[in-house]
Amino acid sequence: MELFNISLLFFITLWQSTLQHIFLNKFYGNYQKSLNIQNELHSAKYRYEIKTIDMPVDHFSFSVLNTFKLRYLINGTWQKTNNAPIFFYTGNEGNIETFAQNTGFMWDIAPEFGALLVFAEHRYYGESMPYNNKSYADLNHLGYLTSQQALADYVDLIQYLKSKPKYKNSPIIVFGGSYGGMLSAWIRIKYPHIVQGAIASSAPILQFTGITECESFLRIVTSDFKKAHSNCPKLIRKSWNIIMNITSTNEGKKWLSDNWKLCQPLKNENDIEQLISYLQDIYTNLAMVNYPYKANFLAPLPAYPINAVCKHLTNESLTGIELLIAIKNAINIFTNYTSETKCLNLNNSTPQLDAIGWSFQACTEMVMPICSDGINDMFKPHTWNLDEYSNDCIKQYSVKPQPNLICEKYGCKDLSTATNIVFSNGLMDPWSSGGVLRNLSSSAIAIIIPESAHHLDLRSSNPNDPFSVVLARKYHRFFIKKWINEYHEIKK
């Protein structure tokens, strides 16, 4: 895809429960701002009709009869015949136009397959609000934001499309990256009679309690920086104590605030925690978007931005103020590559609807433990504490997380019955820690992409794409063609 998500994108990394929500709001604030710019850049290239369909607020109740307008985008430019394949994007945490304009692989292959393109918006994101401006008002309105309800939305939309004579026997192939990739995998697992196959890119369906070690995610981030230069993660690891020491005095806080050009000066312990969260946020984002060409995902960045960052962090003897100046110059690659940023805003935590939506999901079913030990990774040590995390969620939303719910609903330890899914994971992507890295069955295939960051294979083709990414896309095409042919054989 041209410039996609995260959200994962997507998603939920943090080290302490109180820091997690700071991270989420700040991450998604920057994320949505960046993607709004990208929408303008790509609107001329990707064209579609915007439509809506009435959806039940609650698919699983006979007493809640409310409905809402679910938005979806459709493009039939390349459809050549009746019963054309339907390439269906399972929308994740954001405005669906963002994903339509940033999932270039689907657009690249639509002419080859004569496919109809459909991009479905996830409820509670973009404009698909079940209760309009009251959707986030309280738990009574927000409680229908779950992956299960979203999958049921997609099933209803698919069934509606196939109720039309010209799509009656159309095979359905779903696509998704990050959380969207999880949804693609889950809809094939849960509704195999509806969906014929799924391309699930960078889908961490195993990043859950008792399945994946919480340290794995940040160790991959560290490995990415170590690959750029062996001293780079060592200096980042060293910087945490130096930051804590220098900010222990008012004079030190002032120096750091002035030298780093912070929009708001550091004043207290909460500000210091926010600064640390901000830095960890940047390092993690860099690992996800370490693409082989210039990109504008999350921020305008050069090719392989981690290499550019680590050029400032090669001298192992750096310490004290000298190291902090080097860290500032390094993170400027992410925060100010265009030289247009006047100051660093550590307090960019005003929640937007998308930020609130994912934060709620992280407090209910999408509980994805991440921690660091500061020894095998370059981060400040933080343990995963479910009790603290739960208390924070109870305070914010009056909900208690259910860390085992996803594995109970979709499966984690035993996925041997899964079929017709391609799980693709880049080894440079920290979310591969919770990805499917080995074949689950003869037709649920794991594709490992050594040179890929976060769902690079779903971006549009680029002359600088590594061979492993080009090859992964060929595998995608092979399996898509296979699933379509198998479907038509059954329908004969």
Clarify whether residues 56 and 188 are in a common domain.
yes
Taking the C-alpha atoms of residue 35 and residue 101, their distance in angstroms, rounded to an integer, is 10
Q: Which domain holds residue 343?
A: 215-397
Q: Considering the candidates 153, 271, 354, 429, report the single residue annotated as catalytic.
A: 429
Clarify whether residues 72 and 196 are in a common domain.
yes
- Asked about 382 being catalytic, the answer comes back as no
Clarify whether residues 252 and 108 are in a common domain.
no
Q: Tell whether 438 is covered by a domain.
A: yes
Clarify whether residues 196 and 221 are in a common domain.
no
Clarify whether residues 193 and 219 are in a common domain.
no
Q: Tell whether 391 is covered by a domain.
A: yes
Residue 284 backbone phi and psi in degrees, to 5: -70, -45
Q: Tell whether 291 is covered by a domain.
A: yes
Q: Tell whether 85 is covered by a domain.
A: yes
Q: Residue 460 CB: number of other CB atoms within 10 A? A: 18
Taking the C-alpha atoms of residue 288 and residue 453, their distance in angstroms, rounded to an integer, is 5
What per-residue confidence (pLDDT) applies to 429?
96
- Asked about 201 being catalytic, the answer comes back as no
Q: Tell whether 74 is covered by a domain.
A: yes
Q: What CATH number is attached to the domain comprising 63?
A: 3.40.50.1820
**Where does a domain end: 334, 369, 397?**
397
Taking the C-alpha atoms of residue 152 and residue 58, their distance in angstroms, rounded to an integer, is 9
- Asked about 454 being catalytic, the answer comes back as yes
Taking the C-alpha atoms of residue 12 and residue 369, their distance in angstroms, rounded to an integer, is 8
Clarify whether residues 361 and 457 are in a common domain.
no
Q: Considering the candidates 17, 128, 178, 257, report the single residue annotated as catalytic.
A: 178
Q: Tell whether 298 is covered by a domain.
A: yes
Q: What CATH number is attached to the domain comprising 342?
A: 1.20.120.980
**Where does a domain end: 339, 364, 397?**
397
Clarify whether residues 161 and 262 are in a common domain.
no
Tens digit of each residue's pLDDT (9 = 90 or more) over 392-415: 999 999 999 999 999 999 999 999
Residue with tokens 């080894």: 427
Task: Choose among 202, 108, 4: nearest CA to 462.
Answer: 108
Give the chain's domain count.
Answer: 2
Tens digit of each residue's pLDDT (9 = 90 or more) over 160-207: 999 999 999 999 999 999 999 999 999 999 999 999 999 999 999 999
**Where does a domain end: 371, 397, 423?**
397
Dihedral sign, CA of 145, 91, 457, 444? positive
In our burial notation (b when 16+ CB lie closer than 10 A, e otherwise), range 358-367 reads bbbbbbbbbb
Long-range pairs, 78-83, Cβ under 8 A, ≥24: 78/110, 78/111, 78/113, 78/114, 78/115, 78/116, 78/117, 79/114, 79/115, 79/116, 80/114, 81/114, 82/165, 82/166, 82/167, 83/166, 83/167, 83/168, 83/169, 83/170
Clarify whether residues 246 and 153 are in a common domain.
no
Clarify whether residues 150 and 293 are in a common domain.
no
What per-residue confidence (pLDDT) applies to 35?
47
Clarify whether residues 308 and 391 are in a common domain.
yes
Q: Tell whether 18 is covered by a domain.
A: no
Q: Mean pLDDT, consecutive 10-residue segments, the chain of 492 residues?
A: 40 40 42 45 72 98 96 95 96 90 92 97 96 94 97 98 96 97 98 98 96 96 98 98 96 96 93 93 94 86 96 97 97 90 70 63 96 96 95 94 97 95 97 96 95 94 96 97 95 78
Structure-token pair, residue 31 = 């994320």
Q: Considering the candidates 382, 454, 455, 476, report the single residue annotated as catalytic.
A: 454
Clarify whether residues 326 and 472 are in a common domain.
no
What per-residue confidence (pLDDT) applies to 10?
43
| Burial of residue 411, with CB atoms counted within 10 A of its CB: 0-12 exposed, 13-18 middle, 19 or more buried | middle
* Cα–Cα separations (whole angstroms), residue 63 to 7, 57, 152, 208: 33, 11, 17, 32
Clarify whether residues 193 and 109 are in a common domain.
yes
The pairing of beta strand 67-75 with beta strand 116-120: antiparallel
423 and 449 Cβ atoms separated by less than 8 Å: no
Q: Tell whether 21 is covered by a domain.
A: no
Residues 6+ apart with CB under 8 A from 322: none
How many Cα atoms occupy the beta-carbon half-sphere of 8 within 13 Å? 31
